[in-house]
């Protein structure tokens, strides 16, 4: 039996404001904080009702939300480091790399970053959607294999197979090789 929904709903209404404020301070983004808080509640709802962490549900909730906030910040930092190009939703690439560009980069760096991301995304278009999704989650968003498996609803072994296929595809993709060569030393395979 999963955690009691009525008690979680009551906890949600009682603690939402404090938890949201706590997470928003960590993230600096109220909208993103709301998503993180909701994810924390969803995780709590998936626990068995007799799970030991539910004895102090408030502490569990704040811990999970804090960890999710830290994960969000780290993921955004990795994305900015790999690509100075971010989409409006900083945790997911939708293939349009020209929406928001990091203002601290020179114009040349911005163009190079857009080209690199476009090369990867175009090369990935030749893959089945499951391989492409596994690649983006693991290599771009830097999810662990277990996190990718949980997100996709597959086994870790299947994630490994998807990633192996994606990497093999990228290595053999003529467009990717030509594009990577044009990007010269800037590409360096950092995202592959």
Instruction: Count Cβ atoms within 10 A of the Cβ of residue 80 and give its class: 0-12 exposed, 13-18 middle, 19 or more buried.
Output: middle
Task: Kindly state whether residues 93 and 155 are assigned to the same domain.
Answer: yes
Question: For all residues of the chain together, what is the average pLDDT?
Answer: 74
Task: Kindly state whether residues 159 and 133 are assigned to the same domain.
Answer: yes
CA distance 28 to 26: 6
- Band of residue 127 on the pLDDT scale cut at 50, 70, 90: confident
Structurally, how many domains does the chain consist of?
2
Around Cβ 119, how many Cβ atoms within 10 Å? 24
Task: Kindly state whether residues 177 and 97 are assigned to the same domain.
Answer: yes
Task: Kindly state whether residues 147 and 112 are assigned to the same domain.
Answer: yes
Task: Kindly state whether residues 101 and 27 are assigned to the same domain.
Answer: no
Task: Kindly state whether residues 90 and 163 are assigned to the same domain.
Answer: yes
CATH number at residue 29: 1.10.1740
pLDDT digit string (tens) for 42-100?
A: 888 777 777 777 778 888 888 889 989 888 888 887 777 666 544 444 444 444 444 44
Give the domain range for residue 32. Answer: 5-81
Name the residue with tokens 């990795």: 78
> Which region holds residue 96: left if phi is over 0, alpha if psi is between -120 and 50, else beta?
beta
Task: Kindly state whether residues 96 and 17 are assigned to the same domain.
Answer: no
CATH number at residue 119: 1.10.10.10
Task: Kindly state whether residues 91 and 182 are assigned to the same domain.
Answer: yes
Give the domain-ending residue among 81, 110, 133. 81
Task: Kindly state whether residues 75 and 97 are assigned to the same domain.
Answer: no
pLDDT digit string (tens) for 16-48?
A: 899 999 999 988 888 888 888 888 888 887 777
Give the domain-ending residue among 61, 81, 101. 81
Task: Kindly state whether residues 105 and 50 are assigned to the same domain.
Answer: no
Give the domain-ending residue among 81, 115, 139. 81
Task: Kindly state whether residues 117 and 180 are assigned to the same domain.
Answer: yes
pTM passes above 0.75: no
Residues 6+ apart with CB under 8 A from 64: 40, 43, 44
Determine, yes or no, domain membership for 192.
Answer: no
Task: Kindly state whether residues 51 and 10 are assigned to the same domain.
Answer: yes
> Would you say residue 187 has pLDDT above 70?
no
């Amino acid at each position: 039996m999963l955690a009691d929904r009525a008690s979680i709903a009551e906890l949600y209404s009682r603690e939402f404001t404090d938890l949201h404020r706590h997470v928003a301070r960590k993230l600096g983004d109220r909208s993103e904080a709301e998503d993180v808080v909701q994810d924390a509640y969803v995780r709590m709802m998936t626990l068995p009702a007799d799970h030991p962490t539910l004895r102090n549900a408030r502490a569990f909730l704040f811990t999970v939300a804090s960890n999710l906030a830290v994960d969000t910040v780290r993921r955004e930092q990795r994305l900015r480091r790999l690509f100075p190009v971010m989409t409006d939703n900083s945790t997911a690439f939708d293939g349009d790399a020209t929406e928001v560009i990091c203002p601290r980069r020179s114009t040349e760096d911005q163009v190079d970053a857009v080209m690199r991301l476009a090369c990867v995304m175009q090369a990935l278009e030749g893959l089945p959607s499951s391989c492409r999704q596994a690649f983006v989650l693991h290599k771009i968003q830097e999810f662990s294999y277990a996190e990718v498996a949980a997100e996709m609803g597959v086994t870790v072994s299947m994630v490994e197979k998807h990633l192996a296929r994606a990497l093999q595809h990228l290595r053999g993709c003529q467009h990717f090789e030509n594009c990577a060569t044009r990007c010269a030393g800037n590409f360096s395979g950092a995202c592959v």
